[in-house]
Structure 1
């Protein structure tokens, strides 16, 4: 059995697919992944022993520039990635029995590649915001948070159609393929997979128009030891606070690091500062701050007092799995939704807005470090399943020959 998995996005998009590929390998299948050619992703694939087929530009070149991407940049990228789907994915999928795509940026071209080869195609996302939006615009005047979320989701769907429709139609026409009547139906399918833990991100029960297959989060096992210097730092005092923003390029790395360290000090806590794509660095020569690069979060998070992060699916899931309280400072996309869920469950704090101050982060940490928050975090951790990648791998193999994924996990 040969399986092709694909995505285009940050590490939070890529690593779950590597976890799924490892689970598939454990079942005797051969799995390869088409993903962006960022250097750190190549290192991740090499460590897991999973073949990588580069697709598209590096994510860092698009998201971490001096200026944020414009609408025109996004449309151009969408067109390029659709082309890559036809030009790169189709050859990579030769001899494959099934193709699974994560996220719209990769999925539009991936569906075309699957069609060309006549193999089953599946779409997966890591949050309910990645599910297909409703076809009818929400009624105006809704005041609840859910109304606002539904409206934002529907509007995002309209933007997605505008970004991808022309590129998808043009490439299909060149190959003699019929036009796509509904881009969202075509890409998302009516049986999308939700690779998220049901405690943190439950599938919407009211969506009768789609049949969501929720597998649980796809976690790549990590058995790397922590660096000796970090071990020594952890052993030298009370558990510190971890602060990291992953692939997010913050507006001012110097301010972000200063706020993090000073807020930690205000709570009497040392800080483990993750460098990330923002390039966070120590603010002085004091010995209460330790900077890390790529580190095993599965080994580190159980040993810290709280995790301050951007609200990516992977970091939120990792902190939650180990019962570590969180402060989520959301930046973009689905991150505000993860922040809201963390607060709703009582396992941490949702920071208001993407730019923390010393005062706001100090106050958030006070709540996150409270005993009742840790108790709630541990209670919720006990409810989370840890076998999402294995569940998905079995379901994926079951689809081969049926042309249709199972309806339940």
Structure 2
């Protein structure tokens, strides 16, 4: 079976889908991934066929306009920014999704490409499966990510109202571009939301995050939305894409020289003033009497020239599952991949969310007693110290270690591949 997977977004969006694509290829299927142009090399290094699809979102976030939007911490503002980028790229994106899906027997789409992929699948008469990295369908347990302050615990009716608003906003903003695509495909116009379209055609929507992070959600959805847990790359693939190329011996030697450090890193989120953030980490770690392991991957920091106190080590790429178990706690942006790794290692976690689904995960970490949440826009030395200090206790570490044992860490990719094969029958 030939399987096409059109994607767009950052590496965090592509990483788990590469794991899924490799498992599908291992089962004998031909897999083509449409990846953002800056991530095509990442996909091919993993051993999969790839073709450019969609804009370079990382470049957008790193632009002056993108940095201003990220600095607001406002999800709707970021949605407007992405919509503006897509308005100039829409027709090319339409063509690229069609090209990636040409000749496919089945299409797998993500949260961002499901609307286009559903029209292409309809025109081709082939099955469609979508994967979601966070809750993106209406429910009464949680509001639409970023629509309300994360600390709020609104009633069910308010939660559902946020979904109605968000789905209608998405439908209105992207309707013109999608109907341009439908015209190209010879289909009638449609003004239905992606959620309504996929529900009408009974499309399987695989949730590639762990249900224990969102208690009560699985009970609200039927078997059309199965949960697999996070999809991870195997050791050989991680080596091939460079994830294991860091100075692990140097990092581990430094860790072993003293007490377990606190990890600080912000994934693929570009930060406007990396030097100021490093100074904040330096100050707070000194005041708390802890060592700090700082990942420079999220910034333009030069690991060779950046300066901080003796209790701080600045490092390049490394394997989370090798280093995290030796740490005392973690501070990061709350992307689901990094969150999975910090919780799997039993680390009390402070989520400094930037936008999109990250505030949701920050709120859940706090509600579940696994850590704390501090929006990046509110980050100061005083607040960082206030949020981090309570996480550095044996009691909190025990609580997170107990939770870690409930996470799904085995067979997640196999299960997702099973669901995709079942959709083709």
TM-score by length of 2: 0.83
Secondary structure at the counterpart of residue 354 of structure 2: coil
Q: In 1, Cα distance between the equivalents of 2:360 and 2:80?
A: 26
Aligned to 1:77: 85
Q: Does 1:245 align with 2:266?
A: yes
Q: Does 1:272 align with 2:293?
A: yes
Secondary structure at the counterpart of residue 211 of structure 2: coil
Secondary structure at the counterpart of residue 192 of structure 1: strand
Q: Does 1:392 align with 2:416?
A: yes
Q: In 2, Cα distance between the equivalents of 1:149 and 1:256?
A: 34
Greater Cα shift, 90-99 or 372-381 = 90-99
Aligned counterpart in structure 2 of residue 363 of structure 1, from 382, 386, 389: 386
Aligned to 1:343: 366
- CA deviation after TM superposition for structure 1 residue 316, in Å: 0.9
Q: In 2, Cα distance between the equivalents of 1:198 and 1:259?
A: 34
Change (3 A) 1:260 1:46: farther
- CA deviation after TM superposition for structure 1 residue 298, in Å: 1.9
Aligned counterpart in structure 2 of residue 56 of structure 1, from 54, 57, 60: 54
Greater Cα shift, 287-296 or 311-320 = 287-296
8 Å contact kept, 1:5–1:31: yes
Aligned to 1:234: 255
Aligned to 2:233: 220
**Deviation string, structure 1 residues 158-214 (Cα, Å, up to 9, x no partner):** 221122111111221243211124132355445422111111135625646884222
Q: In 2, Cα distance between the equivalents of 1:368 and 1:19?
A: 32
**Deviation string, structure 1 residues 222-257 (Cα, Å, up to 9, x no partner):** 454451322332222221111111121234222222
Q: In 1, Cα distance between the equivalents of 2:33 and 2:234?
A: 17
Change (3 A) 1:64 1:263: same
- CA deviation after TM superposition for structure 1 residue 112, in Å: 2.3
Secondary structure at the counterpart of residue 152 of structure 1: helix
Aligned residues: 391
- CA deviation after TM superposition for structure 1 residue 378, in Å: 0.8
Aligned to 1:184: 194
Q: In 1, Cα distance between the equivalents of 2:221 and 2:58?
A: 38
Q: In 1, Cα distance between the equivalents of 2:260 and 2:338?
A: 18
Note the 1:6-405 alignment, pairs <5 A: 6-38=6-38, 41-68=39-66, 73-79=81-87, 82-104=90-112, 106-128=113-135, 130-132=136-138, 144-145=153-154, 147=156, 149-185=159-195, 188-189=198-199, 190=202, 191-202=204-215, 204-205=217-218, 207=220, 211-222=224-235, 224=239, 225=244, 226-227=246-247, 228-280=249-301, 284-351=307-374, 354-386=377-409, 387-401=411-425
**Deviation string, structure 1 residues 307-355 (Cα, Å, up to 9, x no partner):** 1011111111111122121111111111111011111221211225633
Greater Cα shift, 17-26 or 223-232 = 223-232
Q: In 2, Cα distance between the equivalents of 1:161 and 1:37?
A: 26
Gaps of at least 5 residues in structure 1 are 402-409
8 Å contact kept, 2:212–2:407: yes
Change (3 A) 1:151 1:246: farther
- CA deviation after TM superposition for structure 1 residue 78, in Å: 3.3
Q: In 1, Cα distance between the equivalents of 2:404 and 2:420?
A: 27
